[in-house]
């Protein structure tokens, strides 16, 4: 029986995931979920495919343990759209290997991490290791757009039953304890049309929107916040649409606003503040009318580095146990070394927790949001974000993953499950 953690098996396995087009929109995650379910069935792992929407599904697999804690590994099946032939050198779904890299859409974000989680679970099954608790592997639909898969899971399950959540988003094989919140707004300004040669008879919504944008920028400076781990809040106006043609005064203009938040900012208070500012602007020119539509609301995710899940991950990522009998028995010596190389020599130095000492570690936050904002049970559930991909490559042409980092992450996830859940005494 071939070891699923071996290069001979794990690399073609990841290639098979990359070669299935799950670009979102439309997603089409159902077909990949079915392929993975068939593989897990062959390995003797219980799994089920849960329909979320037409052609879109989650996959849930459970490695049943001894009835103790429950740990969830979570990754998403979908990717963003492929790059064009002009933008990149490699085919988006070719899974081409060149040197130490595999190229393809989703290699870093995040089929690499998802594949590693699945193979970590299968390796436990292969070796007959019965965990002290349940390991749940959830592959979700729709994370790249609206987290429809994670929301469907949260609606159907009691998140209180979980004791830890691991998200395989790309972190350069570094331990991340959270991410910023995201609030997306669409602001539409309505004016009055007129002939372009008689602008005084109309009310130009495009010109009015310039004032709205300036107002938003001023307001953002008033509520700007900074967190030592998660970074700084931000506001950016990223789309604008308005007007009919050159010789018609625009009676409508819309913008999409991307707001990223860190503690102590609250989305409800931000939205109320923006609305109040727009009310004030409307009073100055009663001819304008505006609407604010909330497109997305994702909460901040943050886990105290002293939590057991994070401390365990830090031990593994920094390889505090190198040279010990435990490291030799688990075959995981050197976890994090190749990953550090792949990440360009980032500082992975951490302090090893001993006894009751506080964890002294260089933890980080990530700038993007994840399915954790839906699954973290309003901040009650400890969340670890850890993946072998490079976050800078996400959504980029010629996306790639370092193969050594990917292989090491399989052992990382496997050992994390063993240490956090323990091994059942038969």
Of 109, 143, 144, 415, the active-site residue reads 143
Q: Which two tokens stand for residue 284?
A: 């100055």
Specify the 3-state DSSP secondary structure of 153.
helix
Which residue(s) pair with 242 in the sheet?
253
143 is an active site residue: yes
DSSP output for 347-414: ---BPPP-TTPPP-B--EEESS--THHHHSTTTTS-EEE--SS-GGGTT-TT-EEEHHHHHHHHHHHH
How far apart are the C-alpha atoms of 25 and 27, rounded to whole Å?
5
Contact status, residue 138 vs residue 74, Cβ threshold 8 Å: yes
How far apart are the C-alpha atoms of 410 and 5, rounded to whole Å?
7
Of 78, 163, 251, 340, the active-site residue reads 78
Which residue(s) pair with 258 in the sheet?
184, 236
- Please, what's the b/e burial string for 364-390 (b: 16 or more CB within 10 A of its CB; e: otherwise)? bbbebbbbbbbbbbeeebbbbbbbbbb
Pairing between β-strand 164-167 and β-strand 70-76 as defined by DSSP bridges: parallel
Q: Which of 177, 183, 168 lies closest to 107 in space, CA to CA?
A: 168
Q: Which of 153, 77, 150, 158 lies closest to 118 in space, CA to CA?
A: 77
In angstroms, the Cα distances linking 121 to 26, 29, 46, 109, 278 are 29, 21, 11, 20, 52
Q: Which of 177, 142, 112, 225 lies closest to 359 in space, CA to CA?
A: 177
Q: Which two tokens stand for residue 367?
A: 């700038």
Pairing between β-strand 164-167 and β-strand 383-385 as defined by DSSP bridges: parallel
Phi, psi of 328, rounded to the nearest 5 degrees:
-70, -40
How far apart are the C-alpha atoms of 332 and 5, rounded to whole Å?
11
Contact status, residue 410 vs residue 331, Cβ threshold 8 Å: no
207 is an active site residue: no
How far apart are the C-alpha atoms of 9 and 16, rounded to whole Å?
11
Q: Which two tokens stand for residue 415?
A: 């050992």
Q: Which two tokens stand for residue 257?
A: 């606003």
Q: Which residues are catalytic?
A: 78, 143
């Amino acid at each position: 029986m071939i070891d699923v953690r071996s290069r001979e098996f794990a690399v073609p396995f990841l290639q098979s995931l990359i070669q299935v087009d799950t670009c979102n929109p439309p997603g089409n995650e159902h077909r990949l979920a079915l392929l993975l379910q068939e593989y897990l069935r062959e390995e003797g792992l219980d799994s089920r495919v849960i329909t979320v929407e037409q052609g879109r599904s989650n996959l849930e697999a459970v490695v049943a343990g001894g009835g103790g804690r429950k740990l969830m590994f979570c990754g998403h099946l979908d990717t963003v759209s492929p790059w064009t032939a002009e933008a990149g050198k490699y085919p988006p779904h070719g899974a081409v290997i060149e040197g130490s890299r595999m190229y393809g859409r989703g290699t870093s974000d995040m089929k690499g991490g998802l594949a590693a989680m699945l193979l970590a679970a299968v390796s436990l099954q292969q070796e007959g290791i019965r965990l002290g608790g349940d390991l749940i592997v959830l592959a979700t639909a729709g994370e790249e757009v609206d987290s429809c898969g994670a929301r469907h899971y949260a609606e159907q399950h009691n998140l209180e039953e979980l004791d830890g959540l691991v998200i395989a988003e790309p972190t350069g094989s570094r331990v991340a304890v959270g991410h910023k919140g995201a609030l997306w707004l669409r602001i539409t300004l309505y004016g009055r049309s007129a002939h372009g040669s008689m602008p005084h008879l109309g009310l130009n919504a495009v010109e009015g929107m310039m004032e709205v944008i300036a107002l938003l920028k001023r307001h953002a400076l008033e509520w700007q916040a900074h967190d030592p781990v998660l970074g700084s809040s931000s506001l950016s106006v990223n789309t604008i649409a308005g007007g009919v043609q050159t010789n018609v005064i625009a009676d409508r203009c819309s913008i999409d606003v991307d707001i990223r938040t860190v503690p102590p900012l609250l989305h409800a208070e931000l939205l109320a503040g923006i609305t109040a500012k727009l009310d004030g602007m409307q009073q100055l020119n009663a001819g304008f009318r505006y609407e604010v539509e909330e497109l997305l609301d994702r909460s901040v995710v943050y886990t105290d580095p002293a939590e057991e899940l994070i401390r365990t991950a830090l031990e593994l990522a920094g390889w505090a146990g190198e040279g010990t009998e435990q490291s030799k028995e688990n075959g995981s010596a050197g976890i994090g070394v190749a990953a550090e190389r792949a990440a360009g020599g980032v500082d992975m130095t951490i302090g090893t927790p001993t006894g009751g000492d506080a964890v002294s570690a260089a933890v980080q936050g990530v700038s993007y949001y994840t399915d954790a904002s839906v699954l973290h049970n309003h901040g009650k559930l400890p969340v670890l974000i850890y993946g072998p991909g490079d976050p800078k490559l996400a959504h980029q042409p010629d996306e790639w993953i370092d193969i050594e980092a990917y292989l090491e992450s399989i052992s990382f996830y496997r050992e994390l499950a063993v240490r956090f859940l323990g091994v059942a005494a038969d």
